[in-house]
Amino acid sequence: MEKKRIATLTLDDGRNIELPILSGTLGPDVVDLRGINKLGIFTYDPAFFSTASCSSEITFIDGDAGLLYYRGYPIEQLAENSDFLEVSYLLLNGELPNASQKEQFDAKVKEHTMVHDQLARFYNGFRRDAHPMAVMVGVVGALSAFYHDSLDINNPEHRAISAMRLIAKVPTIAAMAYKYNTGFPFMYPKNKFSYVENFMYMMFGTPAEDYIPNPVLVDALERIFILHADHEQNASTSTVRLAGSSGANPFACIASGIAALWGPAHGGANEAALNMLEEIGDVSRVKEYVQGVKDKKYRLIGFGHRVYKNMDPRASVMRQTCHEVLKELKLENNKLFGLAMELERVALNDPYFIERKLYPNVDFYSGIVLRALGIPTNMFTVIFAVGRTIGWISQWIEMVADAEQKIGRPRQLYRGAVRRDYVPVNKR
Ligand code: CMC
């Protein structure tokens, strides 16, 4: 029998407690702190940098080695060989589908791509210039009001149908946000297209013209969705889990994830990277701009990562895609893209970046690809949300089905005023 491993915590007053050490299949061991409150103390770990908030079987990251696996499969292999719906099946069910499972899954998603006609009326309540992420938070949350028949989170069939609805409808809702913003009519989904083709059709098609998807561009967006499909317990996924831990319905939970993703420190980085390229403006300013970075006046957006201290494996895939897209669209000599490639070249060869292991991250390349695809900057985070919806819902389902799951309730280190008595206003 395997020996039980323990860690001993001793307080300065001599009291101590033995805590089990748990091992996962990959990654560092964790100390199980659940018994610690027997000593009347808590741990202090703002932003959970040292805390595993759950156990999960979905995604594994090793930032030092630059590894990202979905259900054990390296992201590079999935990006190269798979498609987004197959990756969605994998994340949701734990295994790759066989041919008939894949066919059934794809068909099921297509069954749910339309939204209730009443839902389309929500858009009229928004200003035309509303940020599409504001629309996404509102409209995805509003889905809760349409599916009363399937909101019993303890029923596995209800959870499964809600997952299908979310995967299928979020692209439709996202494309409608874009159309509303630009004043073009909404495009109903067309089931002759693949999932990604359909999204591009709803974004860029009009009733006046036939839409012919470009396979290189479809492939690029397919990869962006695959690369963003899940990323372990990041801020938005943790938000989905925390909201879900109270028993909230999946549509409300995913809306909370979209809200968390909206922040510039999370989903907004590729938008910020593009803004930086526009601020630099011309390839002749790259050297001067990089010097400003080295003088610590500002940071190079799209470089470095909190977890990956090696090349982010998603960035390697996106880099190749970026070059393919620029070639296909004959944009290699475009001013902005030329500038981006020069910035990449300078940064990859400069000792400041090499010594600090600051590689271009996935957002640097995905921003360039999305811009080349004609997607406006304010839709970048929306695209991220479309890809991440499968990760959020897979993590939500895992959490709800987990026997150890309880309502999330972090504690605090209170540093406010000690007890004091109320003083009437005329005596203050
Ligand atoms: N440009 C210039 N210098 C940098 C950068 C950068 N982008 N990132 C880190 N550094 C320097 C930093 O100044 C420090 O230098 P020194 O040792 O001389 O003080 C050193 O590198 C280590 O920095 P750090 O702050 O300890 O690194 P971190 O791991 O805490 O920061 C980061 C990670 C992502 C916040 C940071 O790299 C950054 O601000 N990058 C730019 C913003 C960006 O692209 N964000 C998107 C990340 S991907 C998002 C996602 O996956 O969802």
Per-residue pLDDT tens digits for 61-96: 999 999 999 999 999 999 999 999 999 999 999 999
Catalytic residues: 266, 305, 363
1 falls in which pLDDT band (50, 70, 90)?
Answer: low
Nearest to 162 by CA among 233, 259, 254, 98: 254
Half-sphere exposure of 296 (CA within 13 A, CB side): 0
152 falls in which pLDDT band (50, 70, 90)?
Answer: very high
Tokens 């987004």 map to which residue? Answer: 84
- The finding on whether 305 has its CB within 6 A of some atom of ligand 1 is yes
Judged by average pLDDT, the poorest of 161-170, 242-251, 341-350 is: 341-350
Q: Is the pLDDT of residue 57 over 90?
A: yes
- The finding on whether 268 has its CB within 6 A of some atom of ligand 1 is no
* Residues present in the chain in total: 428
% of the chain with per-residue pLDDT over 70: 100
- With H, G, I as helix, E, B as strand and everything else as coil, classify residue 256: helix
What pairs with residue 16 in β-bridges? 10
Find the 138 Cα to ligand 1 centroid distance in Å: 32
Helix (H) or strand (E) holding 22: strand 16-22
Q: What is the mean pLDDT of residues 142-150?
A: 94
CB of 120 within 8 A of CB of 176? yes
Dihedral of CA atoms 400, 403, 407, 412 in degrees, nearest 10, equals: -130
Judged by average pLDDT, the poorest of 126-135, 207-216, 301-310, 408-417 is: 301-310
Judge residue 135's burial from the number of C-beta atoms within 10 Å of its C-beta, 0-12 exposed, 13-18 middle, 19 or more buried.
buried
- The finding on whether 90 has its CB within 6 A of some atom of ligand 1 is no
CB of 300 within 8 A of CB of 189? no
Radius of gyration of the chain from its Cα atoms, rounded to whole angstroms: 24
pLDDT at 123: 97
24 falls in which pLDDT band (50, 70, 90)?
Answer: very high
State the chain's maximal CA–CA distance in angstroms: 79
pLDDT averaged over every residue in the chain:
94
pLDDT at 353: 93
- Evaluated on CA atoms 313, 342, 301, 257, the torsion sign reads negative
* CB neighbour list of residue 388: distance below 8 Å, 6 or more residues apart: 228, 229, 230, 231, 236, 237, 257, 261, 267
- The finding on whether 391 has its CB within 6 A of some atom of ligand 1 is no
Q: What is the mean pLDDT of residues 147-160?
A: 94
- With H, G, I as helix, E, B as strand and everything else as coil, classify residue 330: coil
Find the 196 Cα to ligand 1 centroid distance in Å: 32
- The finding on whether 301 has its CB within 6 A of some atom of ligand 1 is yes
Q: What is the mean pLDDT of residues 339-353?
A: 90
Find the 28 Cα to ligand 1 centroid distance in Å: 23
Distance CA 151, CA 11 (A): 47
CB of 372 within 8 A of CB of 337? yes
Find the 299 Cα to ligand 1 centroid distance in Å: 7
Angle at 385 between CA 364 and CA 59, to 5 degrees: 80
Ligand 1 pocket test target in 305, 343, 355, 383 with most atoms within 8 Å of CB = 305
Q: What is the mean pLDDT of residues 141-167?
A: 96
Q: What is the mean pLDDT of residues 299-325?
A: 89
Looking at mean pLDDT, say which of 76-80, 270-274, 337-341 comes out highest: 76-80
Q: Which atom of ligand 1 is nearest to the CA of 234?
A: 52
